[in-house]
Structure 1
């Protein structure tokens, strides 16, 4: 017993625990992305967990979207909203207004995606075919606004390069 005490006394002591710096909270865009992803996953799991007899009781038309197709639609919209938030956050952190403009330029495309999801939600109803035309128009407008925003970012980077050159 005494020999164990001697070995324990002569054994080197472990180094003191290193001080960790407190973790910084994730940026708002990352928190939003995590929340949107979690919500989309929960919706997909909840829909998949429904019992087959309950699903059979729903008389859906032949043109109804499948669960995996809905998962793709919903996750695409969630990813787009996340991208908009991250682009906006980048613009705020860097102070480059062009990036906030890009986030605004993404809004019409989000509207087009919402038109498509709404039309599919109502089983592609003929009475809502105006949503198809609206989606097309919003896609064209969104492509133009994103092109303008990208050009403004390019011009801003050229100006900052010229201002920093000797």
Structure 2
């Protein structure tokens, strides 16, 4: 845990928690509006959450070279998460355009 300062840890942890709150908020918005696209957007946020948790785990073990595979995993999840978010946002836009006369 020595690789990061306490304020940097605080930002990492609160960012992960904030992302979880955002996922729940997006999910609830979808339920309230009865629009399934919002639920897909919330689900598409999951790879980015796991990616952030992988990064925090790597930092927790002082950026150990033994965990280099975790860094590659995290980078892959970031790529997948960005693509999933783009597709979910496009799907949401498409659904909303179809619903508007």
Question: Normalising by structure 1, what TM-score?
Answer: 0.59
| Greater fraction of residues in helix | 2
1:15-45 per-position Cα deviation (integer Å, ceiling 9, x unaligned):
xxxxxxxxxxxxxxxxxxxxxxxxxxxxxxx
Alpha-carbon distance in structure 2 between the residues aligned to 1:85 and 1:131: 26
Counting only pairs closer than 5 Å after superposition, residues 91-102 of structure 1 correspond to structure 2 as 91-102=30-41
Unaligned runs of 5+ in 1: 1-59
Name the count of aligned residue pairs: 101
Aligned equivalent of 1:127: 66
Counting only pairs closer than 5 Å after superposition, residues 62-101 of structure 1 correspond to structure 2 as 64-101=3-40
Higher-Rg member (1/2): 1
Aligned equivalent of 1:153: 92
Question: Normalising by structure 2, what TM-score?
Answer: 0.97
Structure 1 segments, 4+ long, off by >6 Å, are none
Unaligned runs of 5+ in 2: none
Aligned equivalent of 2:44: 105
